[in-house]
Amino acid sequence: MLSFIWSLGAFIVALGILVAVHEWGHFYVARRCGVHVERFSIGFGKPLWRRKSQRGTEYVIAAIPLGGYVRMLDGRVDEIPPGMENKAFNNKPVLQRMAIIAAGPGVNFLFAIAALYLMFLVGLQTVKPVVKTVEPDSIVAQAGLNAGDEITAVGERATPDWEAVNLELVSYIGKSETPVTIVDQQGTSRTLLLSTSDWNFDPDKESPLNSLGMTPFRPDATLTLALVGEDSPAQKAGLAVGDTITHINDEPVKNWSALVERIASNPGEAVDIRVNRDGQTRTINANIARRESSQGQQGYLGVSPEFEEWPDGYVFTHQYGPIESISRAADKTWRLMTLSVEMIGKLLTGDVSVKNLSGPISIAQGAGVSAGYGLAYFLSFLALISVNLGIINLLPLPMLDGGHLMYFTVEWITGKPVPEAVQEWGFRIGGVLLFTIMSIAIINDIARIS
């Protein structure tokens, strides 16, 4: 329950920031173009707070935090008061109208740069992309990747950490070959060609790395407990943080994986767990609880292990000065933009399944997780969602900013507006398409948590 509340709170904060940024873009450029703004609303539905400025704009925070809007004076829907004709949106030159509409997505991209700039100033702790294991006969094994190799680039893009590796690998979905540059344990650099023509993976079940046959390096788990869950079977039995498990039912436990396998495969069993606590051996009787999983009924105790230390140089921090952070933030924002466009193209061509679409539930979970890791991670998450929001709004679908820009572009080229009847049908078709996409995304979200 606490996790749900945290994720919901982080989601509301993130969405509120991003909606405010997007709508402020429309608002600011509209004001600069002399358009009268009647209402600036964050959220929909019943107003929770409102204030009217001296310039006649009503500022509102509404009850449903799933969007927002800027309502401008427009002769197509409003009765224009005498003397206000030059302040109506529809009476402005087409290029000014295009600028007002494009400003929302544009400010989303600028906000992403600002968020990433702050992230690089604060510093983001991350891990070198060193491979821990390689599955026999997998795609990467056939290409010659070995355990201990460090992935330094995918294609022409450098990959200083696993996030970069994942992003660049995903960009090669649908291509027959993926060039990967590695540095082996002897310090020799070489480029491998992964045969990815038949590469398919389900993002709900595995990561791109696992589907290719490799796992990232991380320190091994020890048999010493770092966490004992509140009201868990382990806590009820008397296990404590710092205990080192040595035996179960007089059988030695070799490693954490063996312990997990033993517990998971014996739901409901009563076991004697021998531990070392403060230099003394104790035997604790515990009942393995049951819980349902995608693999069926499994046992669990509710404990987590301590891990060995990271080797020197594996963990580092992306942190730069005020000047270098600008170029770093701009470059990463541009890459997120191009990758988002590539993914939309792959959805249209079928290289990426619609099952990969995520909706508000997944976004809320991502907001909660990133906020839990700290400010730098939350800023990175905000930048990613802001870029996606900007790109999606630029799609040439009526109902979205891109649809309005499409109509205005036609007007700019032909010298006359698109007929109202055509626009109306476009809005209807766009509404259906948008509702369909949102429905698929929400269904995917529900499937992921069910």
Active site residues: 23
SS3 content of the chain, % helix, strand, coil (to 5): 45, 25, 30
Q: Which residues pair with 151 in a beta bridge?
A: 182
Using an 8 Å Cβ cutoff, are 352 and 173 in contact?
Answer: yes
Q: Does residue 178 contact residue 193 with C-beta atoms inside 8 Å? A: yes
Q: If we measure between CA atoms, which residue out of 178, 124, 179, 187 comes closest to residue 150?
A: 187
List Cα–Cα distances, 110 to 106, 121, 336, in angstroms: 6, 17, 13
DSSP secondary structure letters along 279-306: TEEEEEEEE-EEEEETTEEEEE--EEEE
Q: CA–CA separation, 444 vs 450, rounded Å? A: 10
Helix axes 94-122, 2-32, angle to 10 degrees: 140
Single out the residue of 395, 403, 449, 438 nearest to residue 423, CA to CA. Answer: 403
Q: Using only the alpha carbons of the chain, give its radius of gyration.
A: 27
